[in-house]
Each structure stands twice: as C-alpha cells, then as structure tokens.
Chain A
C-alpha cells in the first residue's frame, strides 16, 4: 500500500517537508518511486503564476524534439527550472528533468482559460505520445503554477537526488506519494499524483472497479481521459469529470464514487438529484480499498475514503497549515506542534475539505450533507 503525504499551507514551504513525512511512513513504500506535485509555487515561480509550466523528463534527443515541437506550436520559452541533480547510489539519472515555463502562442493570449486548458492538455498528450515508445519524453503536467516531479527510487534519496533540500523551490501545496508498487512494472506514468487541468489526486490501495470506470471515462470522448498505466489515475479523472465537466460542487465527488443507498439518501434534501446522479454515474462507483487525497483549481484539498474505509487516513494541523497523511506519524513529522486531539480520521461518510490557504477545515458528512 503506497503512502501519501500532502501538506497545504498559507505560507510557502519546501517540498522536503512532504518527503520527510513520507520517510516516517517508510515501511509502506518500497522505493519503487516518488511522485511530487507542487501547486501555488513560490520562489522564482512566484512572478510567473499565469504562465504554463511543462513538467517532465527527457533524453538529449527528446530535448531537441521537445524544443522543435513547442516552437512549432507557438509556445515561447520564458524560463527553465531544472533540479540540481546530485548523484545518489541506486538512482540512475536520466538526461534532463525539467520544469519549463512558456508563454502562450500569440493566438491564445486573449482566449478564455477553458480554451487555454484544452490547448495545454492536448500539447501534453501529444508530447507524451511522441516520447512514449522510446521513453525520450515524459510529460507529467502542463499547467500554470504547477510542477510535477517523478522518478523511481526511495523518496528521501530522491529528494536528495533532485537537490530539493538545497533548492529554493517552494510551494503552498505539496503532494507526495511513496510507491509500494503493485502494478506489474515500475513505470513513471503509473506514479501518482495524477494531474489534469487543475485537478489532482493521489491514492493508495487498489481499484477493483478499474476496468468499467476506465471504459466509462474513455468513452466520454474527452482526450485527456487516457493513459491509465495505473488503476488509480481514474480517481483524478473522475474528480475532473464530476467537478469541471459536469459542474457539480466538490462534495458530489463523494456521492459519485461512494453513492449512498436509496434509504440513506432519503435523509438528504437533494435526494432526487442524488438518485439521478447515482444511476447515471453508476459505473464510476468505486469499491476500494482506497483513501484519496486531492486538490482542485482553487487550492482546496480534500481526503475521502471508499465506502468500507479499508485504508487509513488522517488530517490535522493548525490554522494556516494542514497535512493530509496516510498515517499519524507523517502528520507528526509535518506539523508536530498541533492539538492532536483535533486530528481528524475521516470515516466512511466523511469528506474532509481544507479551504484555500489552509484557512479552514470542514468535515462534510454525506448522510447529512
């Protein structure tokens, strides 16, 4: 079972904090990978919040292809951030790890965010397609104010490898996942967190309902619903589909993945809508065991469980800084000075939502809405 460490804060902090929290949960990941997604970036990125950042890895030939492609697509390179790689035993470095800040093509400068998002996603998917067979390019995310790093190895060693302990890179939201590989091959595109158009999630546990969910998503005719090297990628896409595509409020994510029984839904004021949603989105119901931690474009973070709550999860912190972890020890590492009695262990009907800038924590109860 993978371990998850997410921190959301009013102030910028180093991604090492999330990695150190993962380290305390070391028995739960086997060094098969680290995924790191940072949102609301500080440091050198603070001034470039509106420009899209392409995060990924490429070989030397891939870099050339990438430059030519981006140039042709009309993107103008503004800035390149690359981790300061330090050789660490056991980690085989690839040619280039990067976060490249681009300016939009001229024709897109005055287009709506929705149109820009479509462009960014399609570019990312095309780059993935170009570089997937020979592994010359990995494109993890292409979105403003978001950076993603992924590599195979022990999370702490990878932190060192990427030089995150020495770098000035900071963010207000950092999601980190230490992998316990249960996929058949260790593959970077199978590494959480998964990101799509501002929506991100990381999950532990296995998704037994993966195939019908994947088929449902892929048949929505939305090009971004692709990949699925991990059965957990669908959780991010369900979130995106529910909130962005269907326009449902965030709490309905819980109602989609773990719908109430008709008898339970009777207590809710929106029971008629719920009944329709449950039927129409029946293939997106998950059976777990999973704990899902995610964020949405406004910076709200959440934790939610499958209906049987077969995976642990805890949320705690202080006003202005909260952590969402697989285990209490991770929370102790991230925010040791907090009132532990107020730690939240969300149960089967709960969805814990931490608002933007970690200002407030809400526990939304599915039964009582």
Chain B
C-alpha cells in the first residue's frame, strides 16, 4: 500500500491539463537526445526509469517478473515548462519517434498565471474559427453580359496609392490652349503620393525580429522593387532601421514607424541630412490590433549590441514603449501636430499617416483625419493582428475585427465624398488561413486602398510555427525555435536570410498573379477595385447587412 503522502497529489496538475501532449514512441527512439536539447521550453527531459517486465521463455509458459533500467523521454508536467506544440523535437528526430499533439481538453489558461502575473506571449489571437474575411466570396463573375478579362493576356495594374489625394475640384490647374497645366501661381499644397503594391509588409521591428529575418525581408523588398517591378513597401516597426539602410537608395521602399517609445528616432533624425532618398512614408503608431491600449515591450534578453545601437539605448535593458504617446494629451496634439512635425522633417515630401488598433471609435479618428489635409492615410489594425509580446488577455480579448471597422470607415468617407482622398489601410488577420490574395482583394473591395500583413509573411517565408491553437507563440521569450524572433545567434543562425528573401519574392509574385485571377473574372484590370462591394457576398444575412453587401447562400 502506498503511503498517504505519495497518494496526495492535490497540488499538482495532471498531464491532461497541458495544452500539448508529447507522443513519444519508445520503440523508435534511439535515445540520441536531440529533441530534449532543442526544446525551447524544456518541456521534455531524458529520464531513467525502472521497469517491471513479465518475462517467459521456453515451450511451457513460465512467467517471471524482471526489473530493468530504461531510458525514456518524459514530458514535464508543469505550466512553466509546458509543451507549446512547436514541434521542433519532431523536426530534429531522426526516427519520427516524437511529436506533440494538441489537447483540446487542456486547462492551460487556468494555471498560466503563476506568481500573480498574467500570461504573456507572442503570436496571434487564439481563435481558429473561420474569420469573416475568409467567409467573403467573390460572386460577381463576368461572363456573357460583359466578357471576363484574361489574367494572362490583358494588361493589369494592381497598384494603389499611399498619400493624401486632392479632391478634383481643388486641383491647382489652369487651362492653356485646350490643355491643362499646373497653375504656377497657386500656393495649393500638393501632398506627396506613392504608387505602391496594395499588399504592404506590416510593421515588425528590428529587435523583435532577428537580424536574418529582418534582412531577408528587406532584401526581398529591394529585389521585388528593383528586379520584379513590384513596388512593395515595408514598415520598419518601432525601433529604427540599420544606419546603412538610412543612407542607402533603398530607403525609399521603407516606411519608418514612430511609436510611443520613439526608439531609433534619434538616429533617424540625425541621418536625415545624409539621406539620398526619402522613405516611402512615416507611420505613427498609436495602437496595434493584437494588443490595443498596450505598449510595446522588447525584453532585455533581446537587446543585444546591434539592437542597442540602432535604438540608441544601453544593452540588456527592457525596452517598454508606453501604451500612449506620453507627450501628447489630445487628438490635436497626437495626430495633427505629430503629422505636421513628421511631414516637416522631410520637407512635406513624405506621406505621414497614423495607425490605430481596430476600435469602435475608429470613425471618430477618421473624421479628424479627414479634415486634416496633411494626413496621408489611415491604417487600422484589427484584432487578428500579430505581436511579438503582449498579455494573452490583450491578444485574445481586446480589439475589433477589421472587416466591419474598415467598412464603416470607408462608408463614412463615401458619405463625406472623401473616399478617394484618404486611403484606408486594413490590417489584422489578412492571410490568417493562408488566403493572402483573397483576403486582400476582399478588403480592397470593401474599401481598403491597401492591406498590411505581418504574420503571414513570417509563416510563409520563414516557416513560423505559430498557429491559432497557441502553438509555439513564444516570440516574447527570445527563444524562437525558427530563429525569427530572437537575438540569440545560436538560434538565429538556423535562419538563412537569402531563403527568406527568395520566399518573399515568390509570395509576392504569386499574390500578384492571384489578385489578377480574382479581378479578371470580375472584369477589373485597370484600377484597383476599391469599394467595388457589389462583387462580394457572404453567407450570413446579418454580416451582409452590416457590411452593406449581398447575402448569398
């Protein structure tokens, strides 16, 4: 009989509480130890066990019990080291002897708050259901009443505009001999406008990303622009960019983000006199879809020499950006003055726009921007956006879905007649299920001028392991097993920046083709079908009514 102390495990959790159960096959394992060495959270350990085996030999059964020492791989049963399901163990196992399996009955969130601290992680909203974006269908197909276009034959222009566009009746034009010309006498400010590919790379900072990841994306962007002729732009995220980029001709493909911590901006401002090109734009981050109302955090272990240099801070300190811009106390301060200050820094040659997290109050911000002639765009990041680090409650429960938020903003602009003046950038969940082009096209047809995407590129270009079942999602710890969100050379050496760049080029080229494949049968090729909502349907009447599109079933 076991002693009472051994039977009383009331204060321990059971394996069933864990989100991932490690399936280890004793018969296949050769005990090489690679899985335990590579596990980023130390969820599995080698262990030595005593096994009792009933043994029989000879023609007549003569069972006898033998005790033997065995070496096993054991899953650690505690929440601090619980398996995140990343599957790195499976990747390194030479014999397919180990793999994590999702446990739908887990009670992970009941226990992941030890020490009174809420659970923090990176990644995305853990909601694997089909999003509204993925329920939107393209239902207006041209056939007989109007011929469908041929994506392979007709000329297509899949381009958008980033920048404030003047209303037609305010254009400073004069007529001379039957031709229009710009009125040299007019002092009308003509805002800067960039022609861009409508899928942008969203703001992921150098610091949050590892050097090869950021470099890979940057190289891919340069290649897409210089060789493929696709004007793809990428946002830096908070924390600046490498000094060499600031002074290079490739800066024109980058949007520099300024956020509440102003990290990296001392270096950027000092580099302005030495810049040979203007950046593509300036994004002022007021909010992030994944963690509305929460500031940024780059943990001390990620602040190595390179990052400290770029951000202008000491090494190995936590870099927290406040939830709001502390120097700004009102929307006039935060939006109007900041947009003007940033515009002024580049002589009003660079589009400057704010980014907020999806919210019911987006229209209030929109209306403020609509009246501000210097606001170059309005970026809204929906609840399905990603993050490098945030409280789980923020990621999972805070924020607004992008689709209806974007749509109501667009329709508001339509009511004001300003739908072409202030481009809307939609983000948060684009490509969540892999449908990058379809999600982008749907948002465009609901009124977005462009979409901004992050997680999809991490998954498609660098094999990020995360998913909506909380798989991996340890970006905040600096222990990314793929080497994407880490500053640890031992981890990021796993990632080849050239391969990231190659994949990025492939992804954009295929998205370009897929966008044409969507637009061609709908009879659109010359201009991006922004607001062409008659092309869309959804299989839910309430959603259809909310989005002012048709219901199809």
A interface residue numbers (CB < 8 A to B): 182, 205-206, 208-212, 215-216, 219-221, 245-249, 251-252, 258-259, 261-262, 269-270, 272-274, 276-277, 279-283, 285-289, 307-308, 310, 369
Contact = CB atoms under 8 A, between A and B. Distances in A.
B182 A273 contact: yes
A247 B451 CA distance: 35
A182 B181 CA distance: 40
Most chain A beta carbons < 10 A, residue from B145, B166, B414: B145
A219 B416 contact: yes
A249 B179 contact: yes
16 contacts: A208-B146, A208-B532, A209-B529, A211-B531, A212-B532, A216-B417, A216-B420, A221-B417, A277-B171, A277-B180, A280-B166, A282-B530, A283-B527, A287-B149, A288-B523, A310-B147
Nearest to A248: B180
Given A206-B146, A262-B195, A276 B173 contact: yes
B157 interface: yes
B12 interface: no
Interface string B379-393: 000000000000000
A268 B509 CA distance: 31
Nearest to A205: B146
Interface of B: 142, 145-147, 149, 154-155, 157, 161, 165-169, 171, 173, 175, 178-182, 190, 193, 195, 414-420, 522-527, 529-534
B371 to A, nearest CB: 16
Contacts of A279: 161, 165-166, 193
B525 A308 contact: yes
Nearest to B146: A206
A287 B524 contact: yes
B419 A308 contact: no
A258 B526 contact: yes
Contact of B525 (A182, A249, A273, A287): A287
B420 A282 contact: yes
Contact of B154 (A206, A210, A282, A308): A308
**Main secondary structure on chain B at its contact with chain A?**
loop
A287 B417 contact: no
Nearest to B533: A211
Contact of B522 (A208, A212, A247): A208
Contacts of A282: 161, 165, 420, 527, 530
**Main secondary structure on chain A at its contact with chain B?**
loop
B479 to A, nearest CB: 47
A100 to B, nearest CB: 34
B190 A276 contact: yes
Given A283-B531, A287-B523, A272 B414 contact: no
A270 B181 contact: yes
Nearest to A257: B526
A87 B416 CA distance: 50
A220 B417 contact: yes
B146 A283 contact: no
B69 to A, nearest CB: 75
A248 B523 CA distance: 28
Given A277-B171, A308-B154, 18 more contacts: A209-B532, A211-B534, A212-B530, A212-B531, A216-B419, A220-B417, A248-B175, A249-B175, A259-B526, A261-B157, A269-B179, A270-B179, A273-B181, A277-B180, A279-B161, A280-B171, A281-B168, A308-B149
Nearest to B413: A219
B154 A280 contact: no
B530 A273 contact: no
Contact of A270 (B167, B180, B523): B180
A206 B417 contact: no
A248 B178 CA distance: 8
A269 B533 CA distance: 37
Contacts of A276: 166, 171, 173, 182, 190
Contacts of B190: 276
B240 to A, nearest CB: 31
Most chain A beta carbons < 10 A, residue from B147, B157, B181, B418: B147
